[in-house]
C-alpha cells in the first residue's frame, strides 16, 4: 500500500469521526473545535488531490478566520443544550429526508455517469505544475466577469450586514478615538501672553499689613 | 547536501544501507527538522535574555547578571525552574482543552518554519505556495489563545481570549493585504523566488542591492507589515491581550509551570518568525546589501536580529495602546492604506515606469 493511501484513510477517518462529534458533542465549544478539526483534515485530503491552493485557502479562510469568529460567538453564548435537543424526535424525519437527498445528489455526482468524471484523463502532472497559477489564469481570464460580479455581490452583502446591525443609541456617551487622536495641544490649552506682574517693594507690603 | 550525506552513509553502513534506504526520507526530514528546531529554541531562550538585558539598559538598569558569567545562564535557569514547577489545573477548568491550548499555541509557531528559506537551497520544504502556507499556519495560532482562555473558565482569561481573537484577526487582514503587493511585484508565492526577485533592478545593477529590495518601492507596506507583525504577536505596545495592568496576564492567568512556558515559547518563536518573514519579504532575505560582498545566511541572521531589536526597542519606548484605538489603527488606517497601495502598485506595474519588468 502506498503511503498516500495510508494518509488518505487517516485523514478521512478523522474527518468522519470529527464530523460525527460535531453533532454529538454536548458542549457547543467542543462541537466548534471538532468542526475545525474536520476542516483541517479535509484540507489534508485536498492536498492529497494536489489542490494545494484550495487546501491552504480552506485552512486560511475557514480555520483561520471564519471558525475563530464562530468560536468567539459560541464561547460567549450560554446555550441550554437540553432545550436545543428537545425537538429531536419530531424533527428527525425532516432531517433524514434532507440527509438522504444530500447523499443521493453526491452519489449522482461522484458516480460520474452524468458528469463525465469517469472520462477524465488520469492526471499525471509535471513536477513544476503550479495549481495556484492555473487557477488564477482561469479565474482572471475565462471567468473574469463572473468572478468580479461575485466579489461585488459579496461586498454588498458585507456592507448590508454591517448596516443592518449598526445601531446608534442616542444616550451613548462613548468617545470616538479618531476625534481623540485628532486633538491638538492648542485645542486644549491656550497660552496667553501677558505682562509680568511687578512685585511690590518690601516696605509697601508691610504698609498694607498695617 | 543530501547527496553528500547519502554517499557517506553508504560507505559507512556498507551492506546495511539497503535496510535503511526505505526509511531514509523520513530520517533525513527528521534530521533537517532537528537542525532547524534546535537553533530556533536556543534563540528563543536567549531572546528572552537579550530582551531583559536590552530593556534593562534602555531603562538604565543592569538586567539579569547573577546566573553564570554576565548572567548568560539565566534562560537555562528559568527553563529549569519552569520545568520543575507543577502544572496546576483549576477545578472548574475544561481539563482536556486546558492541555490543548498551549499545544495549539506553540505548534503553528514551529510548523511555519518548514517553508522558511535561510540561504539558497536551505529550506525544509521548497513549496510553490509557501506564502499561502505561512498565512494559513500562522492564522491557526490564535486558537491556542482562545482555547486557553475559554478552557480556564475564569474571567480574566476569557477577556484575554476575546481581545486576542479580535485583534489577531484584524491585523491578519492588513498583513495579508500588505503581502499581496509583495506577491504582485515578485510574481511568485515561493519564498526563495521572492528573495531572488529582489536581487534584480536598476540599483542592483549599480551594485547597490539594498535599494532594490522591496522595502523601498513598497515602503508603506513595509511599515504596515512590521507594525501588524508586532500586533499579531501581541507584543507591546499592542499587548492588550495580556495587559497586566488591566487583565493580569490574559489567557495565561491560570497556567503555571511548563504550560505557561509554552505560551512564552510560542510568543518568542512567533517574534522570530515575523522577523524572518519581514526580512524575506522586504529586506532581501540572505542577499547582501552591496554587490561586492557575497550573500549568505549571516545576512539573514543580521536582518532578523535588527528586526528583533526593533521589537524590543518599541516595547521599552511606547505606552500600551488603548483597545479601541488599536482596532481603529487596524481597520481604519492600515486596511484602507493597503487597499489603496495595491491599486497603486497595480497601476505602477502596468505603466511604462514599472521597475519590475
Widest Cα–Cα separation across chain B:
68
The Cα–Cα gap between B113 and B39 comes to 12
The Cα–Cα gap between B172 and A159 comes to 20
Report residue B233: phi and psi, to 5°: -90, 5
A79 touches chain B (CB under 8 A): no
Q: Which residue has the cell 488531490?
A: A49
Which residues from chain B sit within 8 angstroms of residue A181, using beta carbons? 325, 328
- What ipTM was estimated for this complex? 0.82
pTM: 0.84
| Rg of chain B, C-alpha, whole Å | 22
Between chains, do B132 and A52 touch, taking CB under 8 Å as contact? yes
Torsional class of B234: left (φ above 0), alpha (ψ -120 to 50), beta (otherwise): left
Which residue, among A37, A28, A23, has the nearest Cα to A75 in the 3D structure?
A28
Give the number of beta-carbon pairs within 8 Å between A and B.
79
C-alpha cell at B216: 523601498
A181 touches chain B (CB under 8 A): yes
DSSP type of residue A117 = G
Interface of A with B in 160-179 (CB under 8 A): 175, 177-178
Q: What is the pLDDT of residue A206?
A: 58
Given pLDDT bands bounded at 50, 70 and 90, which one contains residue A118? Answer: low
Q: Is the pLDDT of residue B306 over 90?
A: yes
First to last CA, chain A: 114
Given pLDDT bands bounded at 50, 70 and 90, which one contains residue B252? Answer: confident
State the CB neighbour count (10 A cutoff) for residue B88.
Answer: 13
Torsional class of B222: left (φ above 0), alpha (ψ -120 to 50), beta (otherwise): alpha
State the CB neighbour count (10 A cutoff) for residue B352.
Answer: 5
The Cα–Cα gap between B33 and B342 comes to 36
| Average pLDDT score over residue span B225-253 | 83
The Cα–Cα gap between B264 and B186 comes to 34
Which residues from chain A sit within 8 angstroms of residue B97, using beta carbons? 29-30, 33
The Cα–Cα gap between B347 and B349 comes to 5
Given pLDDT bands bounded at 50, 70 and 90, which one contains residue A117? Answer: low
Q: What is the pLDDT of residue A38?
A: 92
Between chains, do A72 and B165 touch, taking CB under 8 Å as contact? yes
| Average pLDDT score over residue span A108-133 | 70
Between chains, do A68 and B322 touch, taking CB under 8 Å as contact? no
Interface test with B, best of A28, A41, A68, A174 (most B CBs within 10 A): A68
Give B210-260 as a DSSP string: GGTSTTTTTHHHHHHHHHHHHHHTT-TTSGGGG-HHHHTTGGGTT--HHHH
Between chains, do A29 and B128 touch, taking CB under 8 Å as contact? no
C-alpha cell at B355: 521597475
Which residues from chain A sit within 8 angstroms of residue B136, using beta carbons? 56-57, 59-60, 63-64
Interface of B with A in 144-183 (CB under 8 A): 146-147, 150, 158, 161-162, 165-166, 168-169, 172
DSSP type of residue B93 = S
pLDDT over 70, % of chain B: 99
Who contacts B276 (Cβ-Cβ below 8 Å, separation ≥6)?
B113, B116, B300, B304
Q: What is the pLDDT of residue B343?
A: 92
Amino acid at each position: 500500500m502506498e503511503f498516500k493511501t495510508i494518509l488518505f484513510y487517516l485523514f478521512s477517518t478523522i474527518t468522519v469521526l470529527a464530523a460525527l462529534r460535531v453533532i454529538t458533542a454536548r458542549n457547543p465549544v467542543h462541537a466548534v473545535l471538532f468542526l475545525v478539526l474536520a476542516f483541517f483534515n479535509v484540507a489534508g485530503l485536498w492536498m492529497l488531490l494536489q489542490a494545494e491552493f484550495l487546501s491552504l485557502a480552506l485552512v486560511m479562510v475557514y480555520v483561520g478566520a471564519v471558525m475563530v469568529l464562530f468560536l468567539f460567538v459560541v464561547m460567549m453564548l450560554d446555550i441550554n443544550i437540553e432545550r436545543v435537543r428537545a425537538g429531536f424526535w419530531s424533527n428527525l424525519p425532516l432531517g433524514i429526508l434532507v440527509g438522504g437527498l444530500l447523499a443521493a445528489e453526491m452519489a449522482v455526482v461522484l458516480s460520474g455517469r452524468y458528469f463525465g468524471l469517469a472520462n477524465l484523463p488520469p492526471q499525471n502532472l509535471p513536477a513544476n505544475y503550479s495549481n495556484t497559477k492555473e487557477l488564477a489564469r482561469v479565474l482572471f481570464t475565462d471567468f473574469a466577469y463572473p468572478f468580479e460580479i461575485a466579489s461585488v455581490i459579496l461586498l454588498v452583502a458585507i456592507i448590508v450586514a454591517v448596516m443592518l446591525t449598526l445601531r446608534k443609541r442616542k444616550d451613548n456617551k462613548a468617545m470616538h478615538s479618531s476625534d481623540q487622536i485628532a486633538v491638538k495641544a492648542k485645542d486644549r490649552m491656550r497660552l496667553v501672553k501677558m505682562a509680568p506682574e511687578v512685585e511690590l517693594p518690601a516696605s509697601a507690603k508691610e504698609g498694607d499689613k498695617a | 547536501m543530501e547527496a553528500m550525506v547519502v554517499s557517506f552513509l553508504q560507505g559507512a553502513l556498507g551492506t546495511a544501507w539497503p535496510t535503511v534506504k526505505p526509511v531514509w526520507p523520513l530520517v533525513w526530514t527528521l534530521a533537517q527538522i532537528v537542525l532547524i528546531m534546535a537553533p530556533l529554541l536556543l534563540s528563543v531562550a536567549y531572546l528572552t535574555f537579550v530582551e531583559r538585558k536590552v530593556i534593562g539598559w534602555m531603562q538604565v538598569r543592569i538586567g539579569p547578571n547573577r546566573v553564570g558569567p554576565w548572567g548568560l545562564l539565566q534562560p537555562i535557569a528559568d527553563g529549569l525552574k519552569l520545568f520543575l514547577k507543577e502544572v496546576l489545573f483549576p477545578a472548574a477548568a475544561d481539563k482536556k482543552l486546558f492541555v490543548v491550548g498551549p499545544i495549539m499555541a506553540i505548534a503553528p509557531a514551529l510548523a511555519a518554519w518548514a517553508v522558511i528559506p535561510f540561504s539558497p537551497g536551505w529550506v525544509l520544504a521548497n513549496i510553490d505556495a509557501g506564502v499561502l502556507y505561512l498565512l494559513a499556519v500562522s492564522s491557526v495560532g490564535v486558537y491556542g489563545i482562545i482555547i486557553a482562555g475559554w478552557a480556564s473558565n475564569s474571567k480574566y482569561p476569557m477577556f484575554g481570549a476575546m481581545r486576542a481573537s479580535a485583534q489577531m484577526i484584524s491585523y491578519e487582514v492588513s498583513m495579508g493585504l500588505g503581502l499581496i503587493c509583495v506577491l504582485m511585484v515578485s510574481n511568485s508565492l515561493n519564498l526563495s523566488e521572492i528573495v531572488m526577485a529582489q536581487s534584480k533592478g536598476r540599483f542592483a545593477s549599480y551594485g547597490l542591492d539594498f535599494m532594490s529590495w522591496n522595502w523601498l518601492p513598497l515602503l508603506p507596506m513595509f511599515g504596515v507589515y512590521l507594525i501588524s507583525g508586532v500586533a499579531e504577536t501581541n507584543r507591546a505596545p499592542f499587548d492588550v491581550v495580556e495587559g497586566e495592568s488591566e487583565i493580569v496576564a490574559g489567557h495565561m492567568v491560570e497556567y503555571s509551570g511548563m504550560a505557561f512556558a509554552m505560551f512564552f515559547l510560542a510568543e518568542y518563536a512567533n517574534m522570530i518568525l515575523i522577523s524572518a518573514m519581514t526580512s524575506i519579504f522586504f529586506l532581501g532575505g540572505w542577499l547582501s546589501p552591496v554587490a561586492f560582498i557575497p550573500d549568505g545566511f549571516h545576512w539573514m541572521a543580521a536582518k532578523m536580529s535588527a528586526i528583533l531589536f526593533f521589537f524590543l526597542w518599541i516595547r521599552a519606548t511606547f505606552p500600551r495602546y488603548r483597545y479601541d484605538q488599536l482596532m481603529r489603527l487596524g481597520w481604519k488606517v492600515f486596511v484602507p492604506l493597503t487597499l489603496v497601495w495595491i491599486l497603486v502598485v497595480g497601476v505602477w506595474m502596468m505603466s511604462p515606469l514599472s521597475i519590475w519588468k
